[in-house]
Amino acid sequence: MKTETTPQIFYNYDRKGLDDSTLLKLYRAMLKPRTIEEKMLILLRQGKISKWFSGIGQEAISIGVTSVLEKDEYILPMHRNLGVFTSREIPLHRLFSQWQGKANGFTKGRDRSFHFGTQEFHIIGMISHLGPQFGVADGIGLANKLKNNKKVCAVFSGEGGMSEGDIHEALNVASVWQLPVLFCVENNGYGLSTPTNEQYNCENIADRGVGYGMESHIIEGNNVLEVYTKLKSIVEDMRINPRPVLLEFKTFRMRGHEEASGTKYVPSELIEMWEERDPLVNFENYLLAEGILTEEKIKEFKDEFKQEIDENLEIAFAEPVIEFSETNELNDVYKEFNYQEVKENSEKENIRLIDAISQGLKQSMERHDNLVIMGQDVAEYGGVFKITEGFVEQFGKDRVRNTPICESAIVSTGMGLSINGFKAVVEMQFADFVSSGFNPIVNYLAKSHYRWNEKADVVIRMPCGAGVGAGPFHSQTNEAWFTHTPGLKVVYPAFPYDAKGLLATSIEDPNSVLFFEHKALYRSIRQDVPTDYFTLPLGKAALLKEGEDITIITYGAGVHWALETLEQNPEVKADLIDLRTLMPLDTETIYKSVKKTGKAIILQEDSMFGGIASDISALITENCFEQLDAPVKRVASLETPIPFAANLEKGYLSKGKFKKELFNLLSY
């Protein structure tokens, strides 16, 4: 019979045959992050750390999930999952250095708190946009399935993040492809200050599993034995029968979204109710009542952890503040890529641009057995432009994968494949549709190496451009969206030879590449191209014509417009530069030519403001000013969306303006 002094045990703990040592191990695993958090809150008040996202009251979830996974199975945690990091036995001084922005952390001071990953410990950290995390888990799960290694991975979200479109896309992909991923939702009551009844209108998040065709479970997230035993059974079965599982953990966030936010918006009675359900206190009382734990042991464990924390804090605090080095910062934007030239063979055939891309892609698939192609209709149908026609018969549906209409999830899946040892080529059906996958490209792929030294081995193919009467949603040439983003490479060939060689190199490169393919050139441009696999270096422009009068700088369809103009006006002696690669940009070739001719005109198909021509113009002005005999001229398309009707499209394009502006500059 309980008395007023009997410790409260809210949960009915069912040990399901677990031995005492396992129960003590789970207790210690929960106690350690709680002890660290209590110390962090003190340091925060003392002004010794700047920010803290507390997971107090949610430890049972992180510990339960991590404890049922093997050390080499990936986990993708979030802010409130300190127990994941401690359970994977990351040295505390490295965690403390990370939180203080010091060099011994995982991001060299470039990102904070838990925004990092580490291949050493098979942890892939979050980004603030939350949603791409689930797609990355899809990619890791797909890689595991392709390897047939009987591995699972686990990814976390809060109930607030579950409203993001990226997450819906990723759950759908995981279900369609039956990927071995644990989708762990910590339903802790509030997304910052917004309660769950303003976040979603179903009774439980797990109910959504029916709509996705996915197994789902509701788990008492503060009962560590329930978390551990249920997940152990689920995971063991997933390794045999790969599939996704949606898990909703009922829990509560006892402190603010981050400490500065506070909890004034939470009714006091709700906090009191969940304080009674504290996962650590309840489990501790249960172990005491069962005679598995003693007060002496509790003190021993706490003293051990406090000593470890203090010793590691001393190491981290003694570490010097990170020093700024422009060279180091710039050198870490991209993963180092040692270009290896594969020389062309002597046999050539006259093929179209579209054939060269298809051939280059196929030969890369033959060369890299870890290369996976993903996109809408790319399998049996061969893609809307038939570039991957016949690929399924040669490489199989595991490597040539039709996707649902979900650009964001598939880009993130490409990132997950890269993390887990694969290469990915993602086809945007049209470059215009990349806007639906913009977030993971510019925030995840582009920043991963700079943030935590992780490659993003993903090529995104971008069928683009006007001149085919496709209208506002199928005609954009949107390369400037990406040349502005450090960490991405942008390739834009104008000829079949370049397209084949540059595509091969783009796939070899461990960094993310946006590979633009102009639709109007697909079947209109032919060239003699080597039949075998070969590579061309990125960042090297091609000097197509030489002359003393003027420098013409262009790329894509603009190259052919300029060639046509020069052929019709043979009196003009121009250097014609085909950039081929927009990022990295071959400024050496540009400057050398402009310093020789004294005049420069830049032709782009994109509209003027914010386009790459503006940056090239500025670079020329800054670096070649004394050699210029006239202002640098930009020629671009109209400042409107791209119209459909032929006459309107013709009037929109910069092609019709180029000759006039060229001769105006020549006569300056």
Q: Active-site positions?
A: 474
Q: DSSP strand E in 340-382: where? A: 348-352, 371-375
Phi, psi of 117 (to 5 degrees): -125, 170
Contact at 8 Å (CB) between 292 and 26? no
Contact at 8 Å (CB) between 54 and 80? yes
Distance between CA atoms of 100 and 87, rounded to whole angstroms? 21
Place of tokens 């404890």: 67
> In this structure, is the dihedral angle defined by the CA atoms of residues 384, 386, 388 and 389, taken in order, positive or negative?
positive
Distance between CA atoms of 156 and 412, rounded to whole angstroms? 15
Distance between CA atoms of 564 and 126, rounded to whole angstroms? 50
Place of tokens 């009707």: 645
Distance between CA atoms of 349 and 345, rounded to whole angstroms? 11
Pull the structure tokens for residue 386.
Answer: 């038939």
**How crowded is the C-beta side of 328, counted as CA atoms within 13 Å?**
11
Place of tokens 């945007």: 428
Distance between CA atoms of 382 and 379, rounded to whole angstroms? 5
Distance between CA atoms of 53 and 257, rounded to whole angstroms? 6
**Cβ count near 289 (within 10 Å):** 13
- Who contacts 369 (Cβ-Cβ below 8 Å, separation ≥6)? none
- Specify the 3-state DSSP secondary structure of 115: coil
- Who contacts 614 (Cβ-Cβ below 8 Å, separation ≥6)? 608, 634
Angle at 572 between CA 566 and CA 576, to 5 degrees: 55
Contact at 8 Å (CB) between 586 and 616? no
Distance between CA atoms of 660 and 633, rounded to whole angstroms? 12
Phi, psi of 150 (to 5 degrees): 60, 30
With left for phi above 0 and alpha for psi between -120 and 50, is residue 610 left, alpha or beta? left
Any bridge partners for residue 248, and if so which?
Answer: 185, 218
Phi, psi of 604 (to 5 degrees): -135, 155
Distance between CA atoms of 90 and 68, rounded to whole angstroms? 18
Any bridge partners for residue 464, and if so which?
Answer: 518
Place of tokens 């809060």: 158
The distance in angstroms from the start CA to the end CA of the chain is: 101
